[in-house]
Structure 1
Amino acid sequence: MTEQGVLRASIVVTFLVATFGIVFGLLSGSFSIAFDGVYSLADAGMTTVALGVSHLIVQSAKRDALSGKLRNRFTMGFWHLEPIVLGLNGTILIIVAIYALINALLSIQGGGRELEFGFAIAYAATTLLICLVMAAIDWRANRAIQSDFLKLDIHSWVMSGAISGALLVAFAIGYGVEDTMLEWISPYIDPVALAVISAAIIPIPIGTVRQAVADMLLLTPPDLKEQVDGVAKETVARHGFLGYRAYVAKVGRAKQIEIYFIVARDGPARRLEEWDRIRDEIGEAIGDESHNRWLTIAFTTDREWAE
């Protein structure tokens, strides 16, 4: 199963769950269920965008897969779109959760709302099962694919499942206290559940947003820089170069690496094929030779070219 195939299936199911949530939210009078549907709808919209970006990234690695105009406009590839989409997705989910939290607090202050717990329990149980199944499918597929988009999609399904599970518990409590001395808490079940869930899920996308911002700012991953430095130092020692400069960044799923080796002005002349063999050695030592690695290796006698 491909990344795009998994995302397509996730989009279809998410739209169905969102519609299911909004309809049941109206039928049961539950703002928390309606929020769950709107949350799923926002997630489905961003997953659709993620699918488009994933398609562009994969197609850009194939010769003649893109139109000439598009290829000429994006000669450096489409990797930079991935952290933008991930950051935007996480930000939207945070905003939606904050909005829901504010509405829940206002509802609590207003005395809560009446709720049809039978519809609510049916919705929460069904949605919880769907979320668990989709999270398992995504997780199994991503063991081989290793996609940040699928990781985010897994998180989204887990978050949606947590919301449904919490709602199921809350609605079961509300159903249980009907016609008892604790029935006065029934109107508060829905807004309190929504407030707790919203407050709990707000921090979850923060890690994704932070990583996306780091990628957009081209921050250097320490582990990747250490690996590249190790290979470059070994190359300098083996071939008698004067030094090197390495520039490393991670942009979405792509690793961008530039290494400039300082060569002595009076060093022995080498054929171009020999310089290419040295490049091949360095590339093999760095590893991960795929279309997601952008590796530039240059040799110069002028240190200013390497700065």
Structure 2
Amino acid sequence: MTEQSLLKLSIAVTVILALCGIGAGLYAASFAVVFDGIYSLTDAFMTMLALMVARLIANSALPNPGGKLAERFTMGFWHLEPMVLGLNGTLLIGAAIYALINAVDSLMDGGRMIAFDYAIIVTFFTFTVSLGMALFIQRKNRTLKSAFVALDAKSWLMSAMLSASLFIAFVVGYALLQSPYAWLASYTDPAVLALVCLVIIPMPFANVKQALADILLVTPAEFKQHVDKVARNVVEKFGFSSHYSYVARVGRGRQIELFFIVPKNAPARRLEEWDAIRDQVGEALGGEGHDRWLTIMFTTDEEWAI
């Protein structure tokens, strides 16, 4: 199964499950269940964007992509991936904060009574489907190794955790109705929603942080060290004066620019020899493929490299 087909399946299941959840939440008068559905719909929308970006990246890697988009984006579409990941995490955090505010407001107003029996059935069903999708997508991503698919699997796992928390809370609330503490049952829905939001809000921060680093072209330290190590070996092997390296990670893309400073009195080389040196450098760097953008230049003028 490809990245795109897996994301399509995830979108279809998410939309169906979200619409059912919203309808069931309205019927049961549970804002927590409605939030679960809205959260899933937001995730489905972002997964659709992720699918579009994944398709653009795959098409741009073709030998002759063609089309107006390829003419307008000659540097590729890698930069869209961190934008989508960052927007996804930001929207999920925003939705959880909004739900938390509503939950606190409901608690201050005395809570709300819901149809516990119906809510229990719905949340158990949602939990089962979400957990199954999370495990299925994680297993498929062991070979795909896609950041988009990994985020989608994490979203399914978060949905499963949310549904499990709601299920347990509704079981407790239903039990309270049969006890002397029945007055507490009306606080169950907003209380569990507030608790779930407090857990969910920090979870996308790591993805947002990484996406922001990619958008700002923050140089990955380990990657830079690897590039510099290879470059130093090349300088020593071919008698160059020095080198300058510029490295960035943009989504799944790896961008590398290497400038080698050649002594002005160095013996002349044929173009084929310079190309052979480039091949050696590229092989030593590793990671050759559609997601690597490698530029290697040789100059005697250091100003070209700064």
Normalising by structure 1, we get a TM-score of 0.99
The amino acid across from 1:20 in the alignment is: C
**Alpha-carbon distance, 1:175 to partner:** 1.2
How far the C-alpha of 1:63 sits from its partner, in A, is 2.3
1: CA distance between counterparts of 2:133 and 2:271?
A: 53
Q: Percent identity?
A: 52
Q: Give the aligned residue type for 2:51.
A: L
* CA apart distance, 1:79: 0.2
Q: Deviations over 1:125-153 (max 9, x none)?
A: 11111111111111111111111101110
Residue segments in structure 2 that go unaligned for 5+ positions in a row:
none
Cα-to-partner distance string for 1:205-228 (whole Å, 9 max, x where unaligned):
011001000000000000100100
Equivalences for residues 225-240 of structure 1 within 5 A: 225-240=224-239
Q: Which amino acid in structure 1 is aligned with residue 47 of structure 2?
A: T
CA deviation profile, 1:200-253 (whole Å, cap 9, x unmatched)? 100000110010000000000001001000100000000000000000000000
Q: Distance in 2 between matches of 1:262 and 1:141?
A: 45
Q: Which amino acid is 1:52 matched to? A: M
Which residue of 2 is the match for residue 250 of structure 1? 249
- The residue aligned with 1:296 is 295
Aligned to 1:145: 144
1:203 corresponds in structure 2 to 202
Structure 1 position 278 matched with structure 2 position 277: yes
- CA distance in 2: counterparts of 1:64 and 1:175, whole angstroms: 62
Return the alpha-carbon distance in structure 2 between the equivalents of residues 145 and 287 of structure 1: 19
Query: What CA distance in whole angstroms lies between the structure 2 residues aligned with 1:132 and 1:233?
Result: 49
- Give 1:66 deviation, angstroms: 3.9
Q: Secondary structure at the match of 2:50?
A: helix
2:79 equivalent to 1:80: yes
Q: Whole-Å Cα distance in 2 between the matches of residues 73 and 249 of structure 1?
A: 22
2:42 aligns with 42
Question: Structure 1: how far apart are the matches of 2:50 and 2:199?
Answer: 25
Instruction: Rate the CA distance shift 1:295–1:188 in 2: closer, same or farther, 3 A.
Output: same
Contact 1:59 1:66 in 2 (8 A): no
- Cα distance in 2 for residues equivalent to 1:64 and 1:121: 54
Q: Output aligned runs, 1:37-116, within 5 Å.
A: 37-67=37-67, 69-116=68-115
Q: Which amino acid aligns with 2:181?
A: L
C-alpha distance in structure 2 between counterparts of 1:6 and 1:54, whole Å = 11
- How high is the TM-score relative to the length of structure 2? 0.99
Q: Distance in 2 between matches of 1:84 and 1:245?
A: 29
Deviations 1:31-86 (A, max 9, x none): 0000000000011001001100000000100123341x211100000000000000
Q: Which residue of 1 aligns with 2:190?
A: 191
Q: Distance in 1 between matches of 2:118 and 2:5?
A: 33
CA distance in 1: counterparts of 2:44 and 2:297, whole angstroms: 44
Secondary structure of the residue that 1:230 maps to in structure 2?
helix
Q: CA–CA distance in 2 between the matches of 1:107 and 1:178?
A: 19
> Is the CA contact (8 Å cut-off) linking 1:262 and 1:302 kept in structure 2?
yes
How far apart are the structure 1 equivalents of 2:144 and 2:273?
36
Distance 1:39 1:114 in 2: 22
Would you say 1:182 and 2:181 are equivalent positions?
Answer: yes
Q: Which runs of 4+ in 1 moved over 4 A?
A: none
